[in-house]
């Protein structure tokens, strides 16, 4: 269940209440007349089944509440109520399959913004991966994949394409186009420093590295894995099962590829540098393609289910 808290102009309260009472999947309607001061109006609260939330939010925005009032949505972790159970039974479909588009856009909008924190996480992850590729350590590579925040803007691109949100697309692309070059540049300087300390050496960089050689040697499986990771990642976002994102992060070779390209550039290994860059491009492209197609399929089937309900 989701909890809605609305600030409604007093003249529209009755209209909003009728909408909430007639809509399948709602329960626990409460009205606090005159409780809101900024903006002025009434506070209206109710719970709604997740599978009915997206259409209801569209209707509330159609009434202008996002402009003349307020719409807040919180997740209800536990609701012990017979009315809540009845509301979930009346709503079409299953909550786990439903996509709350407004929530998805807001989440990806926040995660895809280019900030100092985003750059710091991406840089640290790339430096950690650089240590992993030089030491041929799968554990360090996995750790770097988990730390990397790059899935946020990649998911933002997918959502922007489906929702036709140019602002979100620009913000997400900017985060990727600035984030990775900055992280790779700083990792190149880091590799140069580690080389000066004799911790990164030509012998280590050019030695056989069976655990990490796949990073600079992309093959068809690289694209297949990226496609599967894109599907899993988008499903985890739309169903609010964030734990699956950890598996997605470990599946794709974005941060390690960027790191190996930086290390290879430092030591003049152009074959590894171009191979790693290609691996990075293949992974990003595969995730965007699969993520966008996943959202399109979800929108198609969920729209048909709502029509037939």
CATH number of the domain residue 10 falls in: 3.30.70
Q: What distance lies between CA 280 and its chain's CA centroid?
A: 18
CA angle (118 as vertex; 113, 124 as ends), nearest 5: 160
Cβ-proximal residues to 282 (8 Å cutoff; 6+ apart), any chain: 218, 222, 223, 226
Whether 116 and 77 share a structural domain: no
Domain boundary (44, 71, 98) is at 98
- Domain identity same for 215 and 120: yes
Higher-confidence residue of 90 and 128: namely 128
| pLDDT tens-digit series, residues 154-169 | 999 999 999 889 999 9
Q: pTM of the full predicted structure?
A: 0.82
> Is the domain of 188 the same as that of 115?
yes
- Sheet with 40-48: list strands edge to edge: 26-37, 40-48, 2-8, 70-75
Q: Is the pLDDT of residue 189 over 80?
A: yes
> What span, in angstroms and rounded, lies between the C-alpha atoms of 247 and 23?
37
How many angstroms separate the first and last alpha carbons of the chain?
19
Three-state DSSP state, 106: helix
Mean pLDDT of 237-245: 63
Q: What are 32-45's pLDDT values in tens digits?
A: 999 999 899 999 99
Q: What range defines the domain where residue 37 resides?
A: 2-98
* Same domain as 249, residue 299: yes
| Same domain flag for 123 and 256 | yes
Does residue 213 share a domain with residue 164?
yes
């Amino acid at each position: 269940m989701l909890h809605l808290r609305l600030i409604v102009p007093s003249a529209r309260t009755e209209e909003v209440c009728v909408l909430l009472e007639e809509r399948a999947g709602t329960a626990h309607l409460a009205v606090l007349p005159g409780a809101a001061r900024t903006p002025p109006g009434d506070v209206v609260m109710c719970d709604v089944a997740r599978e009915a939330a997206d259409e209801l939010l569209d209707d509330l925005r159609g009434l202008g509440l996002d402009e003349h009032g307020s719409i807040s949505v919180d997740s209800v972790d536990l609701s012990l109520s017979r009315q809540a159970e009845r509301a979930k039974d009346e709503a079409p479909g299953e909550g786990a399959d439903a996509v709350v588009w407004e929530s998805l856009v807001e989440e990806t909008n926040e995660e895809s913004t280019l900030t100092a924190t985003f750059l710091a996480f991406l840089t640290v992850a790339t430096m950690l991966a650089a240590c992993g590729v030089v030491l041929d350590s799968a554990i360090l590579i996995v750790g770097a994949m988990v730390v990397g925040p790059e899935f946020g803007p990649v998911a933002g691109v997918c959502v922007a394409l489906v929702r036709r949100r140019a602002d979100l697309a620009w913000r997400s692309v900017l985060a990727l186009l600035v984030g990775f070059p900055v992280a790779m540049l700083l990792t190149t300087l880091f590799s140069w420093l580690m080389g000066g300390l004799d911790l990164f050496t030509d012998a280590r960089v050019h030695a056989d590295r069976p655990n990490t050689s796949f990073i600079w040697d992309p093959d068809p499986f690289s694209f297949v894995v990226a496609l599967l990771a894109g599907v899993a990642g988008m499903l985890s976002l739309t169903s609010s099962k964030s734990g699956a994102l950890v598996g997605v992060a470990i599946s794709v070779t974005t941060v390690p590829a960027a790191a190996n390209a930086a290390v290879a550039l430092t030591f003049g290994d152009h074959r590894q540098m171009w191979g790693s860059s290609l691996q990075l491009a293949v992974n990003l492209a595969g995730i965007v393609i699969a993520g966008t197609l996943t959202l399109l399929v979800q929108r198609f089937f969920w729209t048909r289910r709502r029509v037939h309900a």
